């Protein structure tokens, strides 16, 4: 693939963290601990069941991070139910850039899954409790989901 250069003012993604739906978050945390990843923040439901956590490691030669979320149904290993969570310093500017670059405006996300007819789609900026500075949902032409959050 040819290398392209972008002007310094082009909005860009600054990090990528896999966000994986799992059958049991605590069991997955124990597994990732075997790989040297320590559990971070945990969110539990009213019954005390961990419904979300992250795990990470950092060393002189790099770092790794993953987010784990309790699946709402059976996990099918043949489907590899993974979405990608990315970070950007300005999600509003990034969304505008994506729209100006030809992505379809999906409006407010309403839970509809699908390949979007082969179109890349960017949905409205949202402010979920875990990402108060903002988050956008982007679907690529194959229907893969990228959530892009702004930390500050």
Please report whether residue 13 resides in a domain: no
Please report whether residue 126 resides in a domain: yes
Which of 81, 110, 127 is the C-terminal boundary of a domain?
81
Q: How would DSSP label each residue in 66-124? A: EEEEE-SS---TTT--EEEEEE-S-HHHHHHHHHHTT-EE--S--S--S-GGG--EEPP
**55/63 Cα distance (integer angstroms):** 11
**53/31 Cα distance (integer angstroms):** 13
What are 61-114's pLDDT values in tens digits? 568 899 999 999 888 766 766 788 888 989 999 999 999 988 899 999 887 655
What are 112-137's pLDDT values in tens digits? 655 566 678 899 999 999 999 999 99
Q: What is the pLDDT of residue 46?
A: 96
Is the CB of residue 18 less than 8 Å from the CB of residue 67? yes
Q: Please tell me the total count of domains within the chain.
A: 2
Give yes or no: residues 36 and 73 share one domain. Answer: yes
pLDDT band of residue 10 (cuts 50, 70, 90) is confident
Q: What is the pLDDT of residue 86?
A: 86
Domain boundaries, position 38: 18-81
């Amino acid at each position: 693939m040819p290398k392209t250069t972008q002007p310094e003012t082009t909005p860009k993604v600054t990090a990528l963290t896999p966000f994986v739906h799992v059958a049991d978050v605590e069991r997955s945390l124990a597994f990732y601990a075997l790989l040297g990843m320590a559990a971070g923040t945990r969110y539990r439901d009213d019954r005390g069941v961990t419904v979300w956590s992250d795990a990470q490691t950092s060393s002189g030669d790099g770092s790794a991070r993953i987010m784990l979320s309790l699946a709402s149904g059976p996990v099918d290993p043949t489907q590899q139910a993974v979405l990608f969570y990315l970070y950007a310093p300005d999600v509003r500017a990034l969304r505008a850039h994506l729209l100006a670059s030809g992505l379809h405006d999906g409006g407010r996300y309403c839970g509809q899954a699908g390949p979007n007819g082969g179109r890349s789609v960017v949905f409205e900026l949202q402010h979920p409790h875990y990402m108060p500075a903002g988050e956008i949902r982007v679907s690529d032409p194959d229907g893969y989901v990228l959530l892009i959050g702004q930390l500050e």
